[in-house]
Amino acid sequence: MSLDKRYDFVYFFDVKDGNPNGDPDAGNLPRLDTETGRGLVTDVCLKRKVRNYVGLAKGEKPPYEIYIKEKAVLNNQHERAYEALKIDLSGDAGKRKGGDKVEDARKWMCQNFYDIRTFGAVMSTGVNCGQVRGPAQLTFARSVEPVVASEHSITRMAVTTQKEAESQSGDNRTMGRKFTVPYGLYRCYGFISAPLAKQTGFSEDDLALFWESLHNMFEHDRSAARGLMSAQRLVIFEHSSLMGNAPAQELFDRVKADRADKQGLPARDFSDYAISLDGKALGAFKTVVHV
């Protein structure tokens, strides 16, 4: 069943002694807003974790296949759509890379790939499957307060090559560096468009799986680099109409993240913060507000 309501949401997650989203162009340092010192996590990073969770939970089976995944060859996925629809690409239609069958191929891709009907995709490369605007969108996550990137020297008691071993006379050590954020609470905003959901076939079941992913995705994304990352609070504003009943920013302003400890000490745990809605503390992970 397709959506008939708009949703806006605020999502809080935190990191302890880890790097939530390293920047490969900056030596994998945690991403920062250089003017304010607040930490950043990209929307692409968060979508990746949703994709990974859905892939694990649903076993990569239609209608929950994942389009953007590790080692995927996207043009091969486009060809699958035409093969499934029994459309011959060797003739005139093939010369036009899909011809008048592009819309049929686009629908097939939406039906089979969860992340396409959720986040959208540009599928006009190679064999043309069109473009999809996804109903679910996320902003960059930004830390509630400035964070500090700590640098650590690390030692590996092994070397990669025999030449390195000989140069160290058998000592066989490799030095490296690791960057972590001691603690950071991050706040992200999200939007679910009902009209776009109707176009892609994004359903109530898909939406429930999306909320489930936000709750559990960090539990299946552990690594030495990311430390302890946890989903903490999700505030969902459920509108009563297709187009919505209030501007998203007005709703987001009702959610506050304040320091519980007023002594000015650095935050090192989620308990150092108080998350509230309209002045009332939120204790459960998910809160649904009807607008």
Confidence (pLDDT) at 95: 46
When pLDDT is averaged across residues 195-210 and rounded to a whole number, the result is: 97
Count CB-CB contacts under 10 A for residue 189: 20
Confidence (pLDDT) at 22: 93
Is 244's pLDDT higher than 50?
yes
Confidence (pLDDT) at 157: 76
Of the given ranges (169-183, 190-204, 246-260), which has the lowest mean pLDDT?
Answer: 169-183
When pLDDT is averaged across residues 122-135 and rounded to a whole number, the result is: 93
When pLDDT is averaged across residues 261-273 and rounded to a whole number, the result is: 89
**pTM exceeds cut of 0.85:** yes
Average pLDDT over the chain, rounded to whole? 92
Kindly report, residue by residue over 203-214, the tens digit of the pLDDT. Answer: 999 999 999 999
When pLDDT is averaged across residues 144-165 and rounded to a whole number, the result is: 83
Do residues 271 and 220 make contact, with C-beta atoms less than 8 angstroms apart? no
